Amino acid sequence: MKARITALSLALLSSYASADLQELGDEALSSEVGQAFINLDSFIDPIDANTRFSRLSFGEEIRINLNADEVIFNHNGTIADATINNFALGHIDTATGTFVPFVVSNPFIEWAVQDDGTGKQNLVGFRLGFGEAKGSLSGDISNLSGHIGINFTDGSTTYAGSLLDASGNSSSYQATQLGVDGYSCAQLSGNETCYNLGNFKSFSIADSDGSSTSDFFLSVQNKNFTWKWGDGSTVTSSYDTSKGFFINMPTDMTISLGDSTTGTARLPTEFIDRGIGRW
């Protein structure tokens, strides 16, 4: 089931202030073009009819240059689901001295509710996403809950990267390492397979081919949850998330396997070196 409420402006103003509004016929209307600014869509999971997803979309393009000393998500008094110091979106091209913004279009907020079996609707999650996103994300990451779409290579074989816990096991919850899943930090082709998240200072948020991605999002859910979207009867996309805060970061990056210093250098995000690692 899918419902859509679309806000459109249909008022036409005459060039004469005293003229009356005139009804347009079908032929005249066919030559007019309208653009929706806000859309509200609702989607019932065809597999689980007790779950409904609703999405409020905004037809805008936004160019972002953002710096923050510290970003913390869902701190429980001991540890946060994500802790990032010197966080930034966008960077400076040092060759030209200009900002390269983080660009998003068609941003949306989405929420999911479930029927508990008694007719009561319970909110189970909230998501901020984008129809398209592309740009650099930088920071000193202590721990992260989510997924980073990155690849590693030994020169002949490419391996899918994964967030890892302290033991080198795949983990989407409060991970502290990034590397190759399934090796428990054992060497692969003579190279390390686990790297401290703090070694990766900048990420290129993009689809695997370098184009804009529709999969960059931040979400909060009260249990392990699968976000879904579809065309009214079929699920066309799904994302597994863990309880609490979750960030999904698709990238077009492939990193060579190496020693424990393997990572990515930080892209500059300030013009002046203030000695805090952003320049």
pLDDT of residue 98: 93
Q: What is the DSSP string of 146-214?
A: EEEEEEEE-SS-EEEEEEE-TTS-B-SSSB-EEEETTSTT--BTTB--EEEGGGB-EEEES-TTSS-BS
Q: Is residue 268 part of a domain?
A: no
Give the pLDDT confidence score for residue 190 in this predicted structure.
85
- Where b means 16+ CB within 10 Å and e means fewer, 252-273 reads bbebebeeeebbbebbbbeeee
Look at residue 192 and tell me if it is in a domain. yes
| C-alpha separations of 88 from 70, 73, 143, 181 in Å | 10, 15, 16, 28
Q: Do the strands 146-153 and 244-256 form a parallel or antiparallel pair, or are they unpaired?
A: parallel
What range defines the domain where residue 6 resides? 2-256
Predicted local confidence at residue 119, as pLDDT: 80
Residue 223 lies in a domain: yes
pTM of full prediction above 0.85: no
Beta bridge partners of 210: none
Q: Two tokens at 33?
A: 């073009």
Cα–Cα distance between 216 and 96 in angstroms, integer?
28
pLDDT score, position 111: 98
Low-confidence stretches of the chain (pLDDT < 70) are: 1-36, 259-260, 276-277, 279
In a domain, 186, yes or no: yes
Q: Is residue 278 part of a domain?
A: no
Let me know: does 100 contact 88? Beta carbons within 8 Å. Answer: no
Residue 92 falls inside a structural domain? yes
Domain count across the chain: 1
The answer to whether position 267 is within a domain reads: no
Any domain includes 144: yes
